[in-house]
Structure 1
Amino acid sequence: MDVFKNLITVQIAALGNVDPVLVYQAIDNPRSLENGDLAIALPRLRLKGNPAAIAKEWAASFVPNEYVTESSAAGPFLNFRINKTALIKLTLGQVSDKVEKYGHNSLGNGKTVIVEFSSPNIAKPFHAGHLRSTIIGAFVRNIYDANGWNTITMNYLGDWGKQYGLLAVGFAKYGSEEKLIADPIKHLYDVYVAINKDAGEDETIHDQARSYFKKMEDGDEEALALWRRFRDLSIVKYKDIYGRLNIHFDVYSGESQVGKGMAEAMKLLHECKLLEESEGALIIDMEKYKLGKTVVQKKDGTTLYLTRDIGAAMERYEKYKFDKMIYVVASQQDLHLKQLFKTLEMLKFDWASKLEHVNFGMVMGMSTRKGTVVFLEDILEEAKETMHEVMRKNEKKYAEIADPEQVADEIGISAVKIQDNSARRIKNYDFDMARMCTFEGDTGPYIQYAHARLASVERKSGLEINHNADLSLLTEPQAVDVIRTVAQYPDLIKSLLNGYEPCNVVTYAFKLSHDISACFENLWVRGADPAVADARLLMYWSARITLGNAMRMLGLRPLERM
């Protein structure tokens, strides 16, 4: 749509002596296509005078051209009609040129962004909260990547603190080498639960845990060797889960690895006179910023995670000189992140203004048929089994799938991700296995089905994609609707930088899927006149490429058979 928007912008900016950037940003899709293909709500231009009168005057003064054929006023709205033939040729030409890069741009101009997300605590289950951070964090990374930024994804593991002292004490009592190697995350969690139960009845266990963690902080090699094993084995397992979810990290970091930075942070906090003593501990008082008081060092000399987060941020800027750093963390941590950002600002780091917190709501009712679930893998397994059962019902199609187990897994993961991304990220949502695994309505399986059906159209046509097809033959309203939606994709990608809302991509993917579905009944490829078949096949191919790009933006692997 850029060509059309630019031509409108030039004329309207000149007519009203308005900033062209403001005009371009105000051009939107109208509420109804009966009014036009594009529209400007004049109040957005902050003009003096009556918006309805100005709209009428500008509509009369607008000079049509080969791309924008008409302008009309409707109250404070200025509507435009565009040349459908030009829209079709330009859009399908761009998809043909860019293919999987269709929608990408160079807005970021190679600037660097660090996106920290997922960040599970070792020895605690990889649960729904981590799933949300993982899915949303990967989405934020994809947004910046598509908008021309250099992206660095970082998994900042919760791998330090008194709980590791507790875990070590527990492992000495309940640990099994065999179980640790077989499933480190689950076994360490079981050990942690057991020793926590004991500690509830025996306070001396907490003393042992504190003592063990103090040894870790003091660099005791024996204590660190056991902790290192727990960490390394857990990361191997995490990588398996992330691979299954189609997610990768450039850097595995962790609270434990903030050594020099933490010492430097404490030194600076002292130098800037930000620390106060309170009952033997060191605190920062942020009451005047309505952020309360926060402890940075306990009375036994051990640090807390705010201290380590300050050190980590300092080390990251030193190493990467980032232009932006984003923390994708649940809304329960809003206060902690505000305290972190304010502390870095008080330390007079000019890059503190480059930090951003992308938060999200809770997942409610995380359970399976077997009862309450703790581990994400249980959820993924159940989603896979549910989809496998559905697939088996169609024996003919099932026989055509090379690896039905893998396909069932992908559809199950798509179901989980689309349900997670269907509402605004700050909202809590109810996890519903039955609803998300259906092919009825707007679900992950439905989007995968739409993509697979488009791939099937290409296979069954027996034709090669002809990028020089005669596109003037695509005259049907359903074809124009599909191409108009395809044409909106690049603007969608730009808009995602404001708000990071995956639900906007989900809505777009469903809209495109519905538009495509409306074509299948009448716009056949097989049996059509050869020139018409070529044009329609190029349209379906472009729709598949664009739908696939939107799916990849959401972290899905588009399927060609299911």
Structure 2
Amino acid sequence: MACLFRRAIAEQVSQVLGLPPEKIVPRIHAVPVHRKKESPDFQLYVNSMPEGNIDTACHKENAQKLASKLATNSVISEIGTGRGCVTFKINRDLLTKTVLKKITQDGSLYGINSELLSNTPKGLTVVEYSSPNIAKKFHVGHLRSTIIGNFIANLKEALGFKVIRMNYLGDWGFQFGLVGAGFSKYGCEEKLKANPLQHLFEVYVKVSAASEKDEDMKQSAQDFMLRLENGNPQALSLWTHFRDLSIEEYAKVYNRLGVQFDEYSGESFYKEKANDVLKLLKNKGILKTTGDGKGVVDLSEQGDLSAYSVVMRSDGTSLYITRDLAAAIDRMERYAFNEMIYVTDKSQQTHFEHLFKILEILGKEQVGNCQHVKFGRVQGMHTRKGDVIFLEDVLDEARSRMLQNMANSKTSKTTEDPSDTAEKVGIAALIVQDLKGPLVNDYRFYWDQALQSYGDTGVFLQYTHARLHSLLNLWDTREKEEFDANCLQDPSVTSTLRHLLRYDEVIHKTLKELQPRYLVSYLMGLSHLANVAHHSIHVKGSSPDVAHARLLFFNNIRVVLASGMRLLGITPVDKM
């Protein structure tokens, strides 16, 4: 694997530069495969070296000078130079044997069991994501938050972090007062049982429209919320009923996505603790009062309230940010986490800047380990019924369109449960479309584009996995680990193996930046290379030894592809 080759290169370089190999290994990078020209396997940029016998003013000459002092051996077959770097080519037989044996040995841990990732500090990570508002529209932003947060949690967990997956529900505030007050007028218990989320949303829409015209309705909503905050049994019973039904429905939909949560939290949990936060701010002299009676925290450098955050209404009640402060402090005390990651859309950037700044003013050192992973908005995601209301509508649409595509395709295989296959492929399409670009970018969604079976789509990943899995039916001797590397000399095989060398680097970069696009791009590249190899080298009609070596090669591609897909939140299908 790449680490063995990096170590061999580093040991030679360390003798020349007088640096320990450990400092050199992370600076040796696998070179991306170029489709049209031959390229080296690894490169080391001389200007990346932290110290040693290098004059950083002249990189080209230094690269040539360093290369001249290195020698080929049983591992390194060629040494050259590029722009400011020394390049290395690995012995082809050794490359083939080492990569395939390592994948066979590590299985789904290939790329994760890497020296490059071994020094990553691991601890407890809290990831807060999805976080829909009860009784309000489950918009596409919640879908993005769900997909991105699930990916981050999967990645951290795979690398050995302990992860707490948290869903922080919007289950308090004036919008809930509207539903509570309006249910007696617009609600129906039968409809609530049949489709809780849809019916609560219908009630919310009606009562919200009525409250804009009717002051009495608005007052009723405020009165209901006041009763709720004061612990009125009837109001609390209705609130608990709505909340429990909503969570049950969310859990069904999350299950379809393969998403689970360790904890369902919510604003309601912190309604009382938010008052404790206000007292703390007041006792520390941090809470200021404006002319209109609002409580604010001064965020300005000059202390002149030129920048501030409102944390209390004029009537003394808490706000969303106050409850978020209470939640953050509670988690710091309860979990003593090493990091906490909030996954929300970029419109909340200012909110989190204020949140982190106030925590810093309060002297909460753990705020340095809090991070807001922000994402852009999606335009154009409509179902055939119209605008997206709930996540369930999106999943149903993806499944239905994929079923139709499968029925119309001449290459579709008969599956035991076409609906289940269509769902998994449709979800893969949604996930890849969502994760393939920089997270912060807005993008426009097109169903036809997302569900194409070619190009960089989730459907293409699933198709490639199913195609590789189908080859296993030809493999009679899969228990036999030994193989003849001479049977795998085709250039398409070498290109694919060189791409597999880069997997741990891609995982490392993805973890560092929490940008799934690097992994998506890598898996697309692997799938394209796998399809080229599938056309170039054949299993049927080959001798047993050749067939065995080639099947081992194809199965190892499948193992890495499946592992990467699962990190993204995709369940690979075996047939489609």
**Equivalent residue for 1:503, pick from 485, 504, 517:** 517
Aligned to 1:283: 296
Aligned-pair identity (%): 37
Correspondence for 1:172: 184
Q: How does 1:244-393 map to 2 (within 5 A)?
A: 244-259=256-271, 261-278=273-290, 279-288=292-301, 292-393=307-408
Residue 408 of structure 1 is matched in structure 2 by 422
Is structure 2 residue 106 aligned with structure 1 residue 93? no
In the aligned structure 2, how far is the partner of 1:477 from the partner of 1:35?
12
Could you tell me the TM-score, scaled by structure 1's length?
Answer: 0.95
CA contact (8 A) 2:478 2:552 kept: no
Choose 469-478 or 275-284, whichever is displaced more: 469-478
Match of 1:4 in 2: 5
Check the 8 A contact 1:108/1:148 in 2, yes or no: no
Give secondary structure in 1 for the equivalent of 2:513.
Answer: coil
Which stretch shows the higher mean deviation, 171-180 or 101-110? 101-110
Change (3 A) 1:515 1:146: same
Letter paired with 2:331: R
2:142 to 130, 153, 168: 130
Q: How does 1:427-506 map to 2 (within 5 A)?
A: 427-506=441-520
The one-letter code of the counterpart of 1:491 is: E
1:225 counterpart = 2:225 = no
Task: Please list the CA deviations of residues 456-479 of structure 1 after superposition, one character each: whole Å capped at 9, or x if unmatched.
Answer: 011144553532223343111111
Once the two structures are superposed, residues 232-286 of structure 1 have per-residue CA deviations (whole angstroms, 9 ceiling, x without a partner) of 1000010111111111111111111125643432232122211011222211121
Summarize the alignment of residues 184-223 of structure 1 with structure 2, pairs less than 5 Å apart: 184-223=196-235
Q: CA offset at residue 4 of structure 1?
A: 1.2
Q: Report the alpha carbon displacement of residue 220 of structure 1 after superposing the two structures with TM.
A: 1.9
| Contact 1:291/1:339, CA 8 A, preserved across alignment | no
Cα deviation code 1:82-113 (max 9, x no counterpart): 12222222222222122122222454565111
Alignment partner of 1:417 out of 405, 420, 431? 431
Moved more, 263-272 or 227-236: 263-272
Match of 1:516 in 2: 530
Structure 2 counterpart of 1:438, which letter? Q
Matched, 1:161 2:162: no
Where 2:537 maps in the other structure, the secondary structure is coil
Q: Which moved more, 1:94-103 or 1:312-321?
A: 94-103
**In the aligned structure 2, how far is the partner of 1:236 from the partner of 1:196?**
25
Give the drift of 1:385: 1.3
> CA–CA distance in 1 between the matches of 2:235 and 2:161?
41
The residue type paired with residue 208 of structure 1 is S
**RMSD (Å) for aligned C-alpha atoms:** 2.0
With 127-136 and 517-526 compared, the bigger mean Cα shift is at: 517-526
Residue 133 of structure 2, aligned match among 104, 121, 125: 121
Partner of 1:139: 151
The code of the aligned residue for 2:40 comes to: G
1:313, distance to aligned residue in structure 2 (A): 0.9
> Please, what TM-score do these two structures have when normalized by structure 2?
0.93
Match of 1:243 in 2: 255
Match of 1:526 among 532, 535, 540: 540
- Tell me the amino acid that sits aligned with residue 16 of structure 2: L
1:212-236 per-position Cα deviation (integer Å, ceiling 9, x unaligned): 2122222222211111111110000
Offset of residue 172 of structure 1: 1.6
Name which of structure 1's ranges 273-282 and 11-20 shifts more when overlaid on structure 2. 11-20
**Is the contact between residue 465 and residue 537 of structure 1 (CA under 8 Å) also seen in structure 2?**
no
User: Comparing 199-208 with 549-558, which one deviates more in the overlay?
Assistant: 199-208
How far apart, CA to CA, are the structure 1 residues paired with 2:197 and 2:308?
Answer: 34
Structure 1 residue 543 and structure 2 residue 557: aligned?
yes
Structure 1: which amino acid aligns with 2:543? D
Query: Any gaps of 5 or more consecutive residues in structure 1?
Result: none
CA distance in 1, matches of 2:74, 2:569: 39
Displacement of 1:207 in angstroms is 2.3
Within 2, Cα distance between the matches of 1:35 and 1:95? 23
Is the counterpart of residue 37 in structure 1 residue 45 in structure 2?
Answer: no
Q: CA deviation at 1:17?
A: 4.6
Distance 1:22 1:192 in 2: 60
* 2:282 aligned counterpart, secondary structure: helix
Distance 2:98 2:218 in 1: 68
The answer (yes or no) to whether the contact 2:278–2:287 under 8 Å persists in 1 is no
Give the secondary-structure state (helix, strand or coil) at the position aligned to 1:497.
helix
Q: Which amino acid in the other structure matches residue 504 of structure 2?
A: P
Give secondary structure in 2 for the equivalent of 1:81: strand
The 10-residue stretch of structure 1 (303-312 or 388-397) with the greater mean CA deviation from structure 2: 388-397
CA contact (8 A) 2:253 2:392 kept: yes
Shift of 1:41: 2.6
Report if the CA contact (8 A) 1:362-1:429 is conserved: yes
1:79 aligns with one of 71, 80, 87: 87
CA distance in 1, matches of 2:128, 2:149: 7
Greater Cα shift, 543-552 or 523-532 = 523-532
Q: Are the aligned partners of 1:146 and 1:493 in contact in 2 as well (CA < 8 Å)?
A: no
- Note the alpha carbon deviations across 1:41-80, whole angstroms, 9 max, x for none: 3333365330001000000111333222332112312111
Q: Deviations over 1:322-346 (max 9, x none)?
A: 0001001111000000111111110
Supply the distance in 2 between the matched residues of 1:115 and 1:17 (Cα, whole angstroms): 43
Structure 2 CA distance for aligned equivalents of residues 484 and 520 of structure 1: 16
Asked whether the 8 Å contact 2:47–2:56 carries over to 1, the reply is no
**Does the residue aligned with 2:171 lie in a helix, a strand or coil?**
coil
Supply the AA of the counterpart residue of 1:129: G
Distance 2:39 2:430 in 1: 38
**1:397 positional shift:** 4.5
Shift of 1:117: 0.5
Q: Distance in 2 between matches of 1:457 and 1:265?
A: 61
- For 1:136 and 1:184, the matched residues in 2 are separated by 26
- Per-residue CA deviations over 1:296-340 (Å, capped at 9, x if unaligned) read 121222211111111111111111110001001111000000111
Q: Secondary structure at the match of 2:536?
A: coil
Q: Distance in 2 between matches of 1:304 and 1:436?
A: 39
| CA distance, structure 2, for counterparts of residue 467 and residue 390 of structure 1 | 39
Secondary structure at the aligned position of 1:498 is classed as helix
Range that drifts further, 386-395 or 295-304: 386-395
One-letter code aligned to 2:4: V
Kindly tell me: are residues 268 and 472 of structure 1, through their superposed partners in 2, closer, same or farther at Cα, counting changes over 3 Å?
farther
Aligned partners of 2:216 and 2:143: how far apart in 1?
35
The aligned amino acid for 1:43 is N
Counterpart AA for 1:195: V
The separation in 1 between residues aligned to 2:169 and 2:362, in whole angstroms, is: 25
Which of 61-70 and 296-305 deviates more? 61-70
DSSP-derived class of the 2:511 partner: coil
- Shift in alpha-carbon separation, 1:291–1:161, aligned structure 2, 3 A: farther
Comparing 247-256 with 265-274, greater Cα deviation is found at 265-274
What code does the residue aligned with 1:444 have?
G
- Structure 1 letter corresponding to 2:17: G
